[in-house]
Amino acid sequence: MQFLRQLVGSPGAFAGMAAAAYAFITRSPEQALGLLGGALVLGMLALVAAWLRFRYRLQDGAIQVHRGVFTRQRLTLQMDRIQTVRLEQPPYLRPFGLVRLSIESAGSAAQEVHLAGISRQQADHIRQQALNVSHEASETEQSAGDPPELQAVTVLTRRPGDLIRYGISSPLILWGALVLGSLLSAAMRRLQDSDSAEARLNWLQEQITQVMPLWGAYLGLLVSLILLLVLLSIAVTLLRYSGYRLQRQGDRYTNHAGLFTRREQMLRQHKIQHLSLNQNLMARLLGRRHLQCHQIGLDFREGPEGSRHLTAPALDDADQARLVAEFQPGLELRNLVFQRVSPRLMLPTLALWLSLWMLALGTLLVTEHNGPLLAAVLFALPLIILFPWLHWRRQGWCLSGDYLVLRRGIIGTGYVSFAPFRAQTVTLSATPLQRRRGLCNLTIGLSSGAFRLAYMERKDAIALMDHLLADMASSKAPWL
């Protein structure tokens, strides 16, 4: 099941396998059915064997898991290394009162523990122990005994209208376009190999040209596919985030969401490494941003809706300010004054794209193309100049109290904020041309990702680096 979730979360691999399966089934349906039957039998045997070999227990502040059929593994995960605890109840487990518990560590995604088909009482017990064990909690318990149980407070809820806005502006549309494009490409290759299908396509093209220009039909098809992707993205968003509710209990946050598969994701506030507020073109038109809380570890297999991210979708300005102040007390986005980087940031991008533009224009002029393609190349010139300028305008940084805020984007404006003591590495670099102008690049590495401020004034970069290093050396705040 974990392999299937990772496969669906990787659109390139999923699209390739789907296209290959489609081509194989259409060419050899008998062999495909035979292979499918054999795969089902082997899969059932493998599931039974994996279930017989799977064992887990709690011992000495750690959870131990024994698993594997041919390659046997023994995984010991210390409770104080746990970052996120997710509780899910798919439709096929709900009638039996069973749930699936997923525990993610501060290291590799391979160090995750997945307990499927356990009772709700067992899952709650393990989750409570996992969230209670930390260095801070241990010191509190030794000195003051068990802390009083705090009442859960609802921090954020999302209405269906908010989720529809998130579906329209979600990156899932781009991922779906990759999968759909691969499937359509495989289908077109299949049709081209068939004489009868090609004849039908030629007849259909003749009928269409009698009603409208061929370019109009292609445009209508493109718009229809985009609308289909938007509808699919909205449907997936409603299924994934229906009933969204974010609650706080002490320093713990719990995210409840899901229509068919009910999910509960829990994390502690001090384990949030950085916040990101993202805004693409559609989100800007809708006046929204999407907030994500990032934790330790990078897991690219999870796709755009990675489980290591706690997502708050489709926030307006008031919700953004309130949630940022909730996760990072004292930070107010509305009152920040950002310092810009040097305008020379635009030069490398402009040089590259202008060179490609002149090459394309020269090729078209030599080949005497005077049609729509030449007009498109000429029309692209203002965009080639506009986008680097917008990118430079969006870049900036600001030190506000206990936090460093980075601004970024091209069409929309996004933000990244974190406490300086959470930095792991700070790197200063410069090319020969940058050194001549007194410029450099500052790369800040966190345990949840790396961020680069390019073409900074050297004196500003050194001052910011010194500030980060001083906080890294002096801070005693917990972060793991």
Over range 293-321, report the average pLDDT: 75
Q: Which has the higher per-residue pLDDT, 480 or 442?
A: 442
Residue 109: the pLDDT is 53
Over range 21-30, report the average pLDDT: 65
- Strands laid side by side in the 252-257 sheet: 113-119, 98-105, 82-89, 262-268, 252-257, 245-249, 153-157
Average pLDDT, the chain: 82
Contacts of 219 (CB under 8 A, 6+ apart): none
Q: Which of 477, 476, 475, 440 lies closest to 460 in space, CA to CA?
A: 440
**Tokens found for residue 390:** 């917008």
CA distances from 350 to 23, 77, 346, 364, 429 (A): 43, 50, 6, 21, 21
Confidence of residue 30 (pLDDT cuts 50, 70, 90): confident
Residue 18: the pLDDT is 60
Alpha-carbon distance of 172 to 94, in angstroms, equals 27
Residue 142: pLDDT over 50: no
Alpha-carbon distance of 329 to 324, in angstroms, equals 7
Residue 149: the pLDDT is 55
Sign of CA dihedral 89, 92, 97, 98: negative
Residue 160: the pLDDT is 94
Residue 296: pLDDT over 50: yes
Residue 213: the pLDDT is 76
Residue 238: the pLDDT is 93
**Tokens found for residue 24:** 């194989």
Q: What is the dihedral of CA 126, 128, 131, 136, to 10 degrees?
A: -120
Residue 92: the pLDDT is 84
Confidence of residue 105 (pLDDT cuts 50, 70, 90): confident
When mean pLDDT is compared across 17-31, 232-246, 325-339, 390-404, the lowest value belongs to 17-31
Assess contact for 85 and 105: CB atoms under 8 A.
Answer: no
Alpha-carbon distance of 430 to 455, in angstroms, equals 9
The pLDDT tens digits for 259-292 are 988 899 988 888 899 999 999 999 999 999 999 9
Confidence of residue 469 (pLDDT cuts 50, 70, 90): very high
Over range 323-339, report the average pLDDT: 91
Alpha-carbon distance of 186 to 151, in angstroms, equals 55
Alpha-carbon distance of 353 to 334, in angstroms, equals 35
Q: Which has the higher per-residue pLDDT, 193 or 7?
A: 193
Over range 86-107, report the average pLDDT: 85
Residue 211: the pLDDT is 75
Over range 405-431, report the average pLDDT: 95
Alpha-carbon distance of 469 to 421, in angstroms, equals 8
Q: Which has the higher per-residue pLDDT, 227 or 460?
A: 460
